[in-house]
Amino acid sequence: MAPDAILPPATLGLLGGGQLGRFFALAAAEMGYRVWVLDPDPGSPAGRIAERHLCAPYDNQDALEELAAGCRAVTTEFENVPAQSLRHLSRHALVRPGAAAVAVCQDRIAEKEFLTTHGFPVGPYVSVRRAADLEAAAALPFPGIMKRARLGYDGKGQVPVGSAAEAVAAWQALGEVDCVLEARLPLELEMSVVLARGADGTTTVYPAVENAHRDGILDMSIAPGRAPAAVAAEAARLAAGIAGALGYEGTLAVEFFLGAGRLLVNELAPRPHNSGHWTLDACPASQYEQQVRALCGLPLAPAEPWGCAVMVNLLGDLWRDGHEPAWTQLLSVPGLKLHLYGKSQPRPGRKMGHYTVVGRELPGVLEAARAARARIGIAGTPP
């Protein structure tokens, strides 16, 4: 343990109060820490359970001062916190991950440039800051996707484009903000790797997970994923390399595409990740507990899972005509763990909760997770 480890009952600060923050707050509370949350939403999932909820925008100077004065260390659950706020906080409190790493991950242009500069594989893309940049689009294979460089999530801020000519219209439709134009890749598989890295460089990497999306939103994660062992090992190696190159401190997620046998980095998240929820129920320490440990300078826990896990997101679409889904039906599935985030407004596409089925063998776990989908009325064929 580092000599300057922050021990309970110290107060920890959290920027962002979504479900990822709620699980961080729960993990921290379990370990005897107190948590203060900064989030402008009065009903934020983490704010509801934190010792204190500072309800203010992320760049509110008074709230940032208060957080810095009251907390020994501050972390984030949300990559869109202004890097400037992190820089400001770091003058008074320990901030992990640091502003520089978050700044890279919150801007797709900076992220792609960082990855290519350090030799990590990414798909064909063009950075678009001004109209003239779109001339380079002629060299891209089409179809493509125009993505906002900042503030996108769950497929939002993305426009499919069929040709270089359409790319111009797509950029205009997005308000001529900074964008990256990516070639749409034929995907065999989507994968992610979640890891934790301590300030001393120690890194523990969870097994690579296989992810299935619907309408740009994560639907289901299978852990460990079914990619060949060599591919999973390569993903873990790349993710650890990225964390090292970023000088990263905390929990980091790396999303990968596997296409034509090649592993490419899709994007980075400087925080725990939806595809790492399964670690809550299938590992000695979750990605959130690792975030607490890394933040406080404590030893990281081993990342080997007890078994296999399948996680399924529960979106607001399941609340039909205002009716709660059939929770009792779901809870009668053996090995199933239900997590709800305490959000009061179920909107279509909004992540309201998830469940994880845990067991020894993947085929049985997958079958139970699929049966549970049917019980609760998730439409469509599961992956």
CB atoms within 10 A of CB 380: 8
> x/- string (CB under 6 A) for ligand ADP, residues 161-200?
---------------------x-xx-x--x----------
Any contact of residue 105 with ligand ADP (CB under 6 A)?
Answer: no
CB atoms within 10 A of CB 320: 10
Any contact of residue 317 with ligand ADP (CB under 6 A)?
Answer: no
Q: Which of residues 266-305 bind ligand ADP (CB under 6 A)?
A: 266-267
Pick from 108, 63, 58: nearest CA to 83: 58
| Residue 152 or 299 having the CB closest to ligand ADP | 152
Q: Which residue has the tokens 């989030």?
A: 39
**Residue count, binding to ligand ADP (CB under 6 A):** 17
Residue 355 Cα distances to 198, 323, 335, 368, angstroms:
29, 19, 10, 11
| Residue 203 or 211 having the CB closest to ligand ADP | 211
| Residue 25 or 265 having the CB closest to Mg ion | 265
Supply 28's token pair: 């921290």
- Supply the minimum distance, in Å, between the C-beta of residue 18 and ligand ADP: 14
Q: Which of residues 247-276 bind Mg ion (CB under 5 A)?
A: 255
341: amino acid identity, one letter: Y
| Residue 274 or 286 having the CB closest to Mg ion | 274
Any contact of residue 80 with ligand ADP (CB under 6 A)?
Answer: no
Applying CB under 6 A, which of residues 8, 70, 121, 155 lies at the interface with ligand ADP?
Answer: 155
Residue 188 interacting entry, from ligand ADP, Mg ion, none, C-beta within 5 to 8 Å by type: none
- Supply the minimum distance, in Å, between the C-beta of residue 126 and ligand ADP: 12
- Report how far residue 205's alpha carbon sits from residue 132's, in angstroms, rounded to the nearest whole number: 41
Residue 213 interacting entry, from ligand ADP, Mg ion, none, C-beta within 5 to 8 Å by type: ligand ADP
First to last CA, the chain: 42
Any contact of residue 349 with ligand ADP (CB under 6 A)?
Answer: no
DSSP string, 44-65: -TTTTTSSEEE-S-TT-HHHHH
| Residue 55 or 187 having the CB closest to ligand ADP | 187
> x/- string (CB under 6 A) for ligand ADP, residues 232-271?
-----------------------x----------xx----
**Phi and psi angles of residue 330, each rounded to the nearest 5 degrees, phi first:** -70, -45
Supply 170's token pair: 């797509």
Applying CB under 6 A, which of residues 213, 214, 350, 375 lies at the interface with ligand ADP?
Answer: 213
Pick from 235, 232, 244: nearest CA to 264: 235
In contact, 117 and 92? CB cutoff 8 Å: no
What residues contact residue 141 under an 8 Å CB cut-off, 6+ apart? 124, 183
Residue 178 interacting entry, from ligand ADP, Mg ion, none, C-beta within 5 to 8 Å by type: none
At 5, which helix (H) or strand (E)?
none
Pick from 256, 254, 242, 333: nearest CA to 287: 254
- Supply the minimum distance, in Å, between the C-beta of residue 69 and ligand ADP: 33
Judged by the rule CB under 6 A, the positions of this chain that interact with ligand ADP are: 123, 145, 147, 152-155, 182, 184-185, 187, 190, 213, 216, 255, 266-267
Judged by the rule CB under 5 A, the positions of this chain that interact with Mg ion are: 255
